[in-house]
Structure 1
């Protein structure tokens, strides 16, 4: 496996990368090439609190990636590119456009390109394994999948520290969105992370001709404790300017930048969330995960009936053969957390969902 930098290693720890079974293509003129990815077929049964039951089936999450790495004058250089098929429907229900997910250049401890944001790395490696594609860490500061991969990210990671500058959500921001984090891992397998986020927030989102903004900061704590074949994850965060990344704010799960961050009085809302989960590996074939997360805004619009988004889930994953997995996940959430216009598909409604999936990693 051609994974040299800490960014890639963290993704593997999170269980969210498709590089776990990357195939080495060979060494050509000092450059090592590999290809990886997975094919995933999934079906989601929706049983909403309101409305009729529905079913969504898709293989659009399937993805493929390529990596090239070499050592030049003592420096490790790596290029990585990955795409999936989750773009808008292009012609028919079974035809989808290829979408860029990651495109990065890494030199030693520095990574530049389109990839996971700093909030993701402050939480995902310490979270409980999920099948839920549209609920990236609900209850964490990285819960909003819509902004999980900014157009441009700069990571510098060394000795447990990570400093991130990323393309700001607010298009007229005076500086990048920022994340500073530190991770400590013990010999027994425990891991701890503390992160501080900061960003320039649009204070007048309904006015596009001005640039009135304010700095918002938040604190995130995450840990994963390992006890033999059982692990416990705990996560909490609170602060301002975090709603758009957490996936919940003044207008609930809708709105970007200042729309989610600013209340009716023109003040920044404070968003607070936490999650907890337990994972257990019964044997080399079967593992089980249970997770609960919630995120609350201290002020919400009068049009909302809830000030808190809650999501609970449980899954069983069965490894039939190396690289080939089957899984089922039960989910329950109290409000919708995906707008109907998102990528041409229906919203994730309030109520219960059951997902069944088959995945082959290569």
Structure 2
């Protein structure tokens, strides 16, 4: 069984489920295993504007293949994973296979398509949620659009992680970068400090030029363990972080560069925080409460702050089968207008029911 930290993160949306990869055995010195999960979810939508609706889907289900071998005293791992998130329309359930992860790990270095540095600076320290778009609102990794760059390089050693990733600004001279350090205590507490930097297009309406400024941000995240109860607290602030956090000058705009600068081309400052508590009620039942918000110092909107509250309960019906319910409420939408199905996050209330079989 392959249980790397990356594989554990990849097999669950919130890093709360266990990795249950199936060992296929060894061939020519390489160990192979498969894993993933089947997830059925139904979301009842009660938006502040528009009609109520209900959507059901299994398209978040995913499958992965892992390899591990020792070559000349170097540990080599490979991982590839996909799901069925493409071709999402209200009238067609024939969803296409989508590549999520494809990376190579040699000792302390990982290269390929996988989680960005912002994800690793927040995900292991956040509170569990059932359905995610990036991470929870209020973190520097709250936008799902850039959460797995086309190419990323991680170097990890002694709690440090340095990440260089495919820049979101197409004319950038340098990669987007993250430098992070994680400290874990013997009592189970964990803390992360991360610095991020990237070139930002200051004239997004003009595609023929390369006018840019460098934006930097700082992120703090922690997860405190008190017996069967965990408390998660995080916060970030800085420039160049709006696209990664999912909220900026024009609100939630996916990968729109106009999130990062005002109408004068000046970089905005984005600030967010989150707090959550999780409790293991019994060996089979756990509950979580989470609040997050993110705001800007300049905004084209009347309300410059996105807020979300989520509460959920997850019942481990069997060791590899989870049943869950989550209630969410937020004051503004943070999904693109073209989003459909269970991924929609409009302003208003949502109720989600899910069943997950992990293998």
TM-score category, normalised to shorter length: over 0.9
Structure 1 partner of 2:221: 222
C-alpha RMSD of matched pairs (Å): 1.8
Rounded Cα–Cα distance in structure 1 between residues aligned with 2:144 and 2:185: 30
Q: Conserved in 2, the CA contact under 8 Å of 1:221 and 1:236? A: yes
Q: 1:305 aligns with which of 299, 302, 306?
A: 302
1:252-271 matches, cutoff 5 A:
252-256=251-255, 258-271=257-270
Q: Conserved in 2, the CA contact under 8 Å of 1:170 and 1:257? A: no
What SS does the corresponding residue of 1:147 show, helix, strand or coil? coil
What SS does the corresponding residue of 1:272 show, helix, strand or coil? strand
Cα offset, 1:91, TM superposition: 10
Q: Conserved in 1, the CA contact under 8 Å of 2:134 and 2:147? A: no
What SS does the corresponding residue of 2:88 show, helix, strand or coil? coil
Structure 2 partner of 1:320: 317
Q: Are the structure 2 counterparts of residues 208 and 152 from structure 1 closer, same or farther at C-alpha, using a change threshold of 3 Å?
A: same
Q: Are the structure 2 counterparts of residues 296 and 269 from structure 1 closer, same or farther at C-alpha, using a change threshold of 3 Å?
A: same
Rounded Cα–Cα distance in structure 1 between residues aligned with 2:350 and 2:146: 23
Q: Are the structure 2 counterparts of residues 3 and 311 from structure 1 closer, same or farther at C-alpha, using a change threshold of 3 Å?
A: same
Q: Are the structure 2 counterparts of residues 9 and 58 from structure 1 closer, same or farther at C-alpha, using a change threshold of 3 Å?
A: closer
Cα offset, 1:88, TM superposition: 2.0
TM-score after normalising by structure 1: 0.95
Cα offset, 1:187, TM superposition: 1.1
Structure 1 partner of 2:273: 274
Task: Provide, for residues 286-335 of structure 1, a one-character-per-residue CA deviation record: whole Å limited to 9, x for no partner.
Answer: 0000000000011111xx23100001000000000010010000000000
Deviates more, 1:241-250 or 1:11-20: 11-20
Q: Are the structure 2 counterparts of residues 18 and 26 from structure 1 closer, same or farther at C-alpha, using a change threshold of 3 Å?
A: farther
Rounded Cα–Cα distance in structure 1 between residues aligned with 2:166 and 2:262: 24
TM-score after normalising by structure 2: 0.96
Cα offset, 1:11, TM superposition: 5.3
Rounded Cα–Cα distance in structure 2 between residues aligned with 1:294 and 1:41: 28
Please, which runs of 5 or more residues in structure 2 have no aligned partner? none
Structure 2 partner of 1:338: 335
Task: Provide, for residues 212-242 of structure 1, a one-character-per-residue CA deviation record: whole Å limited to 9, x for no partner.
Answer: 0110000000000000000000000000000
How many residue pairs match? The answer is 359
Please, which runs of 5 or more residues in structure 1 have no aligned partner? none
Task: Provide, for residues 69-89 of structure 1, a one-character-per-residue CA deviation record: whole Å limited to 9, x for no partner.
Answer: 101111000110000000123
Structure 2 partner of 1:157: 156
Displaced runs of 4+ in structure 1, greater than 6 A?
Answer: 343-346
What SS does the corresponding residue of 2:85 show, helix, strand or coil? coil
Cα offset, 1:255, TM superposition: 4.9
1:187-226 matches, cutoff 5 A:
187-226=186-225
Task: Provide, for residues 237-266 of structure 1, a one-character-per-residue CA deviation record: whole Å limited to 9, x for no partner.
Answer: 000000000000000001525310000121
Q: Conserved in 1, the CA contact under 8 Å of 2:42 and 2:342? A: no
